[in-house]
A and B are shown apart, each in its own frame.
Chain A
């Protein structure tokens, strides 16, 4: 998995925004991750603990908000929640589906302390 590269990005983004806000320390980081993103929370956390050391993000808590995958059917325009990875539209049986939600992969906000 590519959690190492992902964790590096999280650190870079959080640090840049914290500096812009003239913060002394980052305490919390809120991430939004769709169900279709192949990221394992535990291994990001594992890399994070080591990587954030000696940075403005040291000790910051990572929060993962998981978003349920929703598909849009191209044939009947119906929308449904995806339970497994491979299911047809429950209304019409079509597999012509596009992702309506569940591929999110962004940092929503951070919480920082200012002196």
Chain B
């Protein structure tokens, strides 16, 4: 019996990252720009996707992947009801989507027809940040009722963001949410982060977001 040390040096999420790379290629080949949408449960992810569809639907074909820990199709049904293709992925209790799950979801969508793919990740502020899906940008929705201290408590997810959306601004009069304090925390973690304040209830701020997104879609078509 001999004891040997075997050099490994392999990223623990290597398998996930390789599949993420394949997803990115599949999305690029299909010409679909993609967003990994993260947030706490109930922050308004599905509401925001519906508002985005409403704003862009005349000229942008949008596909949606809905991640949920339970085998329900509530969110995907809402997207299908407004005439866009959506698939529901049940993570089987896992707290996040991973690249393999997204790959399975992509296979059920008419990718070549889709201009914009939105992935609604599982409602969670910790785990989704660790798993690359192969999407083009990371977007977080922070909603007013969650409180103004979330950047300080969940720094990791803020560090990796490309866009931040502050939702439920219609509730600002009823909740003690110090916008300055919140934004200061964000600025410490991700200086200059592109941020939109919106209300999916009143529609406030959705136009500015939709304009920005149109710009990103146009830019991604050029490369």
Residues of A within 8 A of B (CB): 1-2, 4-6, 9-10, 12-14, 17-18, 20-21, 23-24, 27, 31, 36-38, 85-86, 88, 95-96, 99, 105-115
Interface of chain A, helix or strand or loop or mixed?
A: mixed
Give B90-138 interface residues, CB cut-off 8 Å to A. 94-96, 98, 126-127, 129-131
**How far, in Å, is A97 (CB) from chain B's closest CB?**
9
Contact of B1 among A12, A13, A85, A114 (CB under 8 A): A114
Cα of A14 to Cα of B5 in the assembled complex, Å? 12
Interface of chain B, helix or strand or loop or mixed?
A: mixed
B155 touches A106 (CB 8 A): no
B4 touches A23 (CB 8 A): yes
B10 touches A2 (CB 8 A): no
Decide if B222 is an interface residue (CB 8 Å cutoff): no
Q: Which residues of A contact B10 (CB under 8 A)?
A: 13, 17, 106-107
B1 touches A115 (CB 8 A): yes
A2 touches B1 (CB 8 A): no
Decide if B58 is an interface residue (CB 8 Å cutoff): no
A31 touches B5 (CB 8 A): no
Q: Which residues of A contact B56 (CB under 8 A)?
A: none
With both beta carbons as reference points, the residue of chain B lying nearest to A29 in the complex is identified as B8
Residues of B within 8 A of A (CB): 1-16, 94-96, 98, 126-127, 129-131, 152, 155-156, 159, 185, 187-189, 191
B126 touches A17 (CB 8 A): no
Whether A86 touches B189, Cβ cut-off 8 Å, given contacts A37-B130, A38-B130, A109-B7, is yes
**How far, in Å, is A50 (CB) from chain B's closest CB?**
16
Q: Which residues of A contact B156 (CB under 8 A)?
A: 36, 38
Cα of A21 to Cα of B8 in the assembled complex, Å? 11
Q: Which residues of A contact B6 (CB under 8 A)?
A: 17-18, 20-21, 23, 109-112
Q: Which residues of B contact A23 (CB under 8 A)?
A: 4, 6
Cα of A38 to Cα of B156 in the assembled complex, Å? 8
